[in-house]
A = this chain, B = another copy of it.
Amino acid sequence: MLRGGRQVRVTIKDVSREAGVSIKTVSRVLNNEKYVGAETRARVNAVVERLNFRPSSAARVLAGRRSFQIALICDNPSPYYVYEMQSGVRDRCEEQGVRMIAQPYDRQSSKLIDEIESLIDSIQIDGLVLTPPATDYPDVLDLLARRGVRFVRVSPGTDVMLTSSAFIDNERAAADITRHLIALGHRRIAHISGDPAFAASAQRTAGYRGALQESGIAVEPSLIRTGNFYFTSGAAEAEALLALPEPPTAIFAASDDMAAGALAAAHRLGVRVPDALSIAGFDDTAISRVVWPPLTTIRQPMRQMAYAATDLLLRAAGAAIERRELHYELVARGSTARPSR
A341 within 8 A of B: no
A: contact size bracket: 35 or more
Q: Are A62 and B62 also in contact (CB < 8 A) when A104-B86, A126-B2 are? A: yes
Contact B124 A56 (CB under 8 A): yes
| Residues of chain B with a CB closer than 8 A to A264's CB | 290, 292, 294
A120 within 8 A of B: yes
Q: How far is the CA of A213 from the CA of B314 in the complex (A)?
A: 59
Residue from B80, B147, B150, B315 in contact with A79 in the complex, judged by beta carbons closer than 8 Å = B80
| Residues of chain B with a CB closer than 8 A to A104's CB | 86-87, 90, 102
A270 within 8 A of B: no
* Most-contacted residue by chain B among A56, A79, A294 (CB, 10 A): A79
A125 within 8 A of B: yes
Contact A127 B2 (CB under 8 A): yes
Q: How far is the CA of A150 from the CA of B58 in the complex (A)?
A: 20
Contact A121 B83 (CB under 8 A): no
* Most-contacted residue by chain B among A87, A124, A257 (CB, 10 A): A124
CB nearest to A144 among chain B residues: B5
Kindly identify, within residues 80 to 101 of chain A, every residue whose CB is under 8 Å from any CB belonging to chain B: 80, 82-83, 86-87, 90, 96, 98-99, 101
Residue from B121, B289, B313 in contact with A231 in the complex, judged by beta carbons closer than 8 Å = B289
| Residues of chain B with a CB closer than 8 A to A4's CB | 65-67, 124-127
Residue from B6, B59, B86, B102 in contact with A58 in the complex, judged by beta carbons closer than 8 Å = B59
| Residues of chain B with a CB closer than 8 A to A58's CB | 57-62, 67, 123-124
Complex interface bits, A109-124 against B, C-beta within 8 A gives 1, otherwise 0:
0000000011011111
A108 within 8 A of B: no
| Residues of chain B with a CB closer than 8 A to A98's CB | 2
| Residues of chain B with a CB closer than 8 A to A148's CB | 5-7
CB nearest to A319 among chain B residues: B2
CB nearest to A234 among chain B residues: B290
A340 within 8 A of B: no
Kindly identify, within residues 6 to 33 of chain A, every residue whose CB is under 8 Å from any CB belonging to chain B: 6-7, 9-10
Contact B3 A317 (CB under 8 A): yes
CB nearest to A127 among chain B residues: B2
Residue from B102, B122, B317 in contact with A2 in the complex, judged by beta carbons closer than 8 Å = B317
Contact A121 B66 (CB under 8 A): no
Closest Cβ of chain B to A312, distance in Å, is: 10
Contact A122 B82 (CB under 8 A): no
A316 within 8 A of B: yes
Q: How far is the CA of A58 from the CA of B67 in the complex (A)?
A: 9
Contact A2 B82 (CB under 8 A): no
The 8 A-B pairs with the shortest beta carbon distances in the complex, nearest first, are A58-B61, A5-B148, A54-B121, A79-B83, A58-B58, A102-B102, A79-B79, A57-B122
Residues of A within 8 A of B (CB): 1-7, 9-10, 52, 54-62, 65-67, 70, 79-80, 82-83, 86-87, 90, 96, 98-99, 101-102, 104, 117-118, 120-127, 147-150, 231, 257, 260-261, 263-264, 267, 286-287, 289-294, 313-317
